[in-house]
Amino acid sequence: MTSKAKRAPVVIVGAGRLGGALALALQAKRWPVRVYSRDDAGRERARALGLKPATPADLKKARVCVLCVPDAAVPAVSEALSRELPRTVALVHTAGALPLSALGTQRGRAVGSFHPLCAVSSAHDSLAGHTAAISTRSPALRALLQRMAEDVGFAMFDVPEAHRAAYHAGAVLSAGGLVSLADAAVGALGAAGIEPEAALQALLPLMRSALRGIEARGLSGGLTGPIVRGDAGVVAAHLAALPSDIAPLYAQLSRRALRLASERLRPEPRAALEALLAKK
């Protein structure tokens, strides 16, 4: 692609957290980006972020229109925009769980998805260092989305349409699932009489240190705790002490940890752990 094509005109639909963060990241890299909203509140949010609201002329000359709207709104927004946009403008959604078919039947128009693996809680969040999952049947659109990803600071991989649900489930486990796991850990400390706020403040640095271990040594190498030490007695004590709504989660995670640690354990402690966890 030419340098001009690499930074083709982009319209972001939606001035919320993700739409704002993506538009700001592209604007910082000198992409000609505009933000489209159907209401005054959305246009005002865009202006407050230092972004330019899209005009009808901007819609006509865009190369790609990126829908940063709630999943449930994607089909309706896509249908409405398809009546306004020339066929030369590609439509791309940012919903991890939705297939390309959510964009409707777009004869002659390139369609795709661009899902940032990033928990965006503010339009001012940095996206650099994360990954974008991309899906499209158009080589030209894929090249443009790849250029976008590179400029924003994303790594990138392609998601097969047939396995999108499994991909998105993994993403949810690593973000929302992590929050739920933290809640369970706070509950476990609560059973020991530790207040939730104090528990969370103590556990967050511990969780960060575990993530650093994974980053440095991989999943198996980053594993710590009684499973990797082969200490069935400690695991049994944990299961007996935990509240009834947390113990099954602990047991399930321990079984998975045992598979990760299996090659590092001697046969006797591994068998003791397997027998203990098989009962739970």
Residue 279 is predicted with a pLDDT of 81
Q: Which helix (H) or strand (E) holds 146?
A: helix 139-152
pLDDT band at 5 (very low <50, low <70, confident <90, very high): very low
What local confidence, expressed as pLDDT, does residue 143 receive? Answer: 95
Q: What is the pLDDT of residue 170?
A: 96
pLDDT band, very low/low/confident/very high, at 39 (cuts 50, 70, 90): confident
Q: What is the largest CA-CA distance in the chain?
A: 72
Percentage of the chain modeled with pLDDT above 70:
98
pLDDT tens-digit readout, 184-237: 999 999 999 999 999 999 999 999 999 999 999 999 999 999 999 999 999 999
For residue 134, give both structure tokens: 């991309």
pLDDT band at residue 105, thresholds of 50, 70 and 90? confident
* Whether residue 28 has pLDDT greater than 70: yes
6 pLDDT tier (thresholds 50, 70, 90)? low
74 Cβ partners below 8 Å, 6+ apart?
67, 93, 95, 98, 102, 103
Q: How confident is the model at residue 12 (pLDDT cuts 50, 70, 90)?
A: very high
Is there a contact between 113 and 100 (Cβ–Cβ < 8 Å)? Answer: yes
Residue 24: closest CA among 154, 126, 144, 143 = 126
Q: Is the pLDDT of residue 171 over 60?
A: yes
> Hey, what are 12's tokens?
């972001």
Parallel/antiparallel/unpaired status of strands 111-117 and 131-136 = antiparallel
Summarised one tens digit per residue, pLDDT across range 242-253 is: 999 999 999 999
Out of 42-51, 98-107, 191-200, the most confident range is: 191-200
Position 4 pLDDT exceeds 50: no
Residue 101 has pLDDT above 50, yes or no: yes
The answer, yes or no, to whether residue 273 has pLDDT greater than 50, is yes
The CA distance from 141 to 79, in Å, is 20
pLDDT band at 1 (very low <50, low <70, confident <90, very high): very low
For the chain, percent of residues with pLDDT exceeding 90: 90
For the chain, the C-alpha Rg in angstroms (whole number) is 23
Q: pTM for the complete prediction?
A: 0.86
On the question of pLDDT at 2 being above 50, the answer is no
